[in-house]
């Protein structure tokens, strides 16, 4: 699995000192940011704090937003590792977990909002509840594509590697550390980048929101951008977007490129690639003496103790429960309570359905059909360009060096902030608002497909590329026999997450507030957004359920069958 050589360069003493200086400066910046954050949160803040558009407030707002994004990402990663692994290895659980994942990724983030906010407000102070509600909303925009990518990686691990791990008698921990995580490293990193981009996209909705008669504002870059867009302040909007671009570029240079360079060693190939990814910060950190000291004195001993802990646990003689062991009383009690809760919920849901006027039912049905049409148009447009461009970035390091930062910036820019430009440009065309809605959905979801295609292209073994070259396979035949089969599992994962994201993006693509005006088109996303703003909870519940049902049916009838085909026919073995 690992390459024979590890990327590391022996710098001369002077350059090693520069490396130490850069690493120490990075630590100092992180420490300063943490202290500033702690000092800011120690002050009492109102849930409806006024957002100033002064450029001097941007650094503090950016720090707040990055912290919320980081908290949501950590939760997303933990959820991904546990949920995806359970679904991949437990067939009984998979029958429940995968349909549940389809449901969860199809629930619009604004539908999570009232539940998260009111539940947290019942047990926590208002400010803390609002902060956690915002983190929850960002979490729901980050987690689903990571979980699907992790599940897809685990289900496509070659049988030969499984057999090798069995021969070495790896326990669950050693299997996770030495096989599963390295095999899934590249798609996980690319989907992490996509998750951050998705979080930036929905940041405006997560930091300023209205529930019923109450408005909640959290200081942050998303709130700054939304306030600037609502007031039509183009200068402030440019300042906010500029700050967002700076953050994205810094993260690309300090986090994502080093991680991709590190993960390149885990590609499944016998021959090293011609142009492996490189990172100046990764090279510096590998040769900084302080990083070597941290690795040797802290990380390595801690990892060794963790290995010994799991080895002792497995050899302690505690027999694992047998697969045919009869369930105990606790299992039946849980099932009984679950059935009772489901019956009560069904009764309450039925009572709520009778509160919906007949005209609203017609609007919901028409809205689902209208949004479904926009989703499929957006996915078709996305496939036309993301597959060739994604393969170019994932297979050509020179192209990746130029295009990767551009892609990250474009994927992270909140499309709602650019809505006025789209409307102005398309207003002279027939159906301009509909075209704008499709483009907004496309801008928010095409990146799920692109990043998965990039991950798939980067994971194609160099051996197979050399083999096709030796056989003289070129052009369309090379795409048909090597590239598309290799990319197919990643394309399916990208389409599933992009489809769910497109439905989710409909809430901001079909209902936009700008310059004191509300612009909307017919669609289920517009119904959900208007119901949330008006506090019409019966209509919000029913319209959300309608969207969930539509997404689940599409996933079960189309995407899930393609997933099974990817598992059975396109493994690298």
Q: What is the pLDDT of residue 78?
A: 94
What pLDDT does residue 168 have?
84
pLDDT band at 79 (very low <50, low <70, confident <90, very high): very high
Q: How confident is the model at residue 320 (pLDDT cuts 50, 70, 90)?
A: very low
Q: How confident is residue 150, by pLDDT bands cut at 50, 70 and 90?
A: very high
Which segment of 165-174, 268-277, 290-299 scores lowest on mean pLDDT?
Answer: 268-277
> Does residue 397 have a pLDDT over 50?
yes
Q: What is the mean pLDDT of residues 480-507?
A: 84
pLDDT in tens, 110-139: 666 666 666 776 677 777 888 888 888 889
Range 387-401 average pLDDT: 86
Give, for 217, the enclosing helix (H) or strand (E).
Answer: strand 214-217
Q: What is the mean pLDDT of the chain?
A: 77
Identify the H or E element spanning 214.
strand 214-217
**Confidence at residue 162, expressed as pLDDT on a 0 to 100 scale:** 87
User: What is the rounded CA–CA span in Å between residue 485 and residue 571?
Assistant: 9
Burial of 244 from C-beta contacts in 10 A (0-12 / 13-18 / 19+): buried
Contact 230, 417 (CB under 8 A): no
What pLDDT is attached to residue 274? Answer: 60
Identify the three-state secondary structure at position 269.
coil
Query: At residue 37, does pLDDT exceed 80?
Result: no
In terms of C-beta density within 10 A (0-12 exposed, 13-18 middle, 19 or more buried), how is residue 69 classed? buried
Report the 10 Å Cβ neighbour count for 542. 22
Asked whether the predicted pLDDT for residue 322 surpasses 60, the reply is no
* % of residues, the chain, pLDDT over 70: 74
Question: Can you give the pLDDT at residue 319?
Answer: 40
Q: 327 falls in which pLDDT band (50, 70, 90)?
A: low
pTM: 0.72
The DSSP secondary-structure symbol of 460 reads: S
CA 385 to chain centroid: 21
Highest-scoring range by mean pLDDT, 258-272, 316-330, 492-506 = 492-506
More confident residue, 488 or 414: 488
Report DSSP state, residue 5: S
> For a pLDDT cut of 90, what percent of the chain falls above it?
8
Per-residue model confidence as pLDDT tens digits over 247-287: 888 888 888 888 988 888 887 765 565 667 778 788 877 77
pLDDT, greater one: 261 or 10: 261
Which helix (H) or strand (E) segment holds residue 511: the answer is: strand 511-514
The number of helix segments (H) and strand segments (E) in the chain equals 26, 4
Q: What is the pLDDT of residue 386?
A: 92
3-state secondary structure at position 437: helix
For residue 317, what pLDDT band results from cuts at 50, 70 and 90? very low
Count Cβ atoms below 10 Å from residue 45 Cβ, excluding itself. 15
Residue 555 CA, distance from chain mean position: 18
pLDDT at position 10, please?
Answer: 45
Over 50: is that where the pLDDT of 480 sits?
yes
Render pLDDT for 208-240 as a digit per residue (tens, 0 to 9). 766 656 677 888 888 888 888 777 788 888 898
Please state the rounded mean pLDDT for residues 475-484: 86
- Give 545-560 pLDDT, tens digit per residue: 888 888 888 877 887 7
Q: Could you say which DSSP state residue 209 is in?
A: E
**In this predicted model, which residue has the larger pLDDT, 331 or 488?**
488
pLDDT tens track for 195-205: 888 788 777 77
Encode pLDDT of 416-472 as tens digits: 666 656 666 665 665 667 787 888 888 878 888 998 898 888 888 877 888 888 888
pLDDT-based confidence at 381, cuts 50/70/90?
Answer: very high
Name the residue with higher pLDDT: 256 or 360.
Answer: 256
User: What's the DSSP call for residue 520?
Assistant: E
In the prediction, which pLDDT does 384 show? 92
Q: What is the Cα–Cα distance from 191 to 81, expressed in whole angstroms? A: 13
Query: In the chain, what are the domains?
Result: 59-270+327-569 (1.10.3720.10)
User: Taking 90 as the threshold, does the pLDDT of residue 80 lie above it?
Assistant: yes
435 vs 371, which has greater pLDDT?
A: 371
């Amino acid at each position: 699995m690992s390459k024979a050589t590890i990327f590391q360069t022996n710098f001369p003493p002077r350059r090693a000192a520069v490396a130490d200086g850069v690493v120490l400066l990075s630590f100092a910046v992180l420490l300063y940011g943490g202290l500033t954050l702690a000092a800011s949160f120690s002050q009492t803040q109102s849930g409806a704090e006024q957002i100033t558009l002064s450029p001097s407030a941007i650094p503090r707002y950016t720090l707040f937003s990055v912290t919320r994004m980081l908290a949501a990402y950590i939760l997303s990663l933990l959820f991904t590792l546990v949920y995806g692994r359970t679904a991949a290895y437990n067939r009984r659980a998979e029958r429940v977990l995968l349909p549940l994942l389809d449901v969860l990724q199809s629930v619009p983030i604004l539908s999570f909002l009232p539940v998260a906010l009111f539940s947290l407000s019942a047990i926590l102070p208002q400010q803390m509840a609002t902060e956690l509600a915002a983190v929850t909303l960002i979490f729901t925009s980050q987690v689903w594509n990571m979980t699907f990518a992790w599940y897809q990686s685990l289900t496509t691990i070659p049988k030969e590697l499984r057999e090798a791990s069995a021969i070495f008698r790896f326990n669950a921990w050693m299997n996770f550390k030495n096989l599963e995580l390295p095999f899934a490293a590249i798609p996980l990193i690319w989907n992490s980048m996509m998750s951050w981009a998705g979080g930036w996209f929905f940041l405006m909705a997560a930091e300023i929101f209205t529930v019923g008669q109450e408005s909640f504002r959290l200081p942050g870059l998303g709130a700054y951008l939304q306030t600037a867009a609502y007031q039509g302040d183009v200068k402030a909007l440019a300042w906010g977007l500029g700050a967002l671009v700076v953050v994205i570029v810094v993260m690309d240079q300090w986090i994502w490129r080093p991680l991709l360079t590190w993960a390149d060693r885990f590609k499944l190939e016998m021959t090293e690639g011609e142009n492996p990814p490189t990172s100046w910060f990764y090279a510096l950190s590998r040769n900084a003496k302080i990083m070597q000291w941290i690795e040797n004195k802290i990380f390595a001993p801690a990892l060794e103790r963790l290995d010994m802990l799991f080895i002792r646990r497995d050899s302690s003689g505690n027999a694992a429960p047998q697969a045919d062991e009869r369930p105990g009383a606790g299992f039946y009690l849980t099932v009984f309570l679950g059935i009772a809760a489901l019956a009560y919920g069904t009764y309450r849901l039925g009572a709520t359905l009778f509160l919906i006027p007949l005209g609203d039912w017609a609007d919901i049905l028409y809205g689902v059909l209208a949004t479904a049409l926009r989703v499929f148009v957006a996915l078709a447009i996305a496939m036309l360009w993301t597959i060739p461009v994604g393969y170019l970035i994932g297979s050509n390091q020179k192209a990746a060096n130029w295009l990767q930062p551009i892609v990250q910036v474009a994927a992270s820019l909140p499309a709602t902030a650019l809505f006025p430009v789209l409307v102005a440009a398309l207003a002279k065309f027939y159906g301009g608002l509909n075209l704008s809605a499709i483009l907004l959905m496309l801008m928010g979801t095409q990146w799920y497909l692109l990043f998965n295609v990039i991950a798939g292209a980067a994971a194609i073994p160099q051996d197979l590329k050399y083999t096709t070259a030796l056989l003289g396979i070129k052009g369309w035949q090379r795409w048909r026999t090597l590239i598309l089969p290799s990319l197919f599992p990643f394309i399916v994962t990208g389409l599933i997450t992009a489809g769910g994201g497109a439905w989710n993006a409909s809430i901001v693509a079909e209902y936009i507030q700008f310059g004191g005006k509300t612009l909307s088109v017919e669609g289920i996303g517009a119904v959900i957004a208007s119901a949330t703003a008006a506090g019409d909870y019966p209509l919000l519940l029913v319209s959300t359920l309608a969207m969930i049902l539509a997404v689940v049916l599409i996933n079960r009838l189309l995407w899930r069958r393609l997933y099974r085909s990817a598992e059975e026919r396109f493994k690298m073995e």
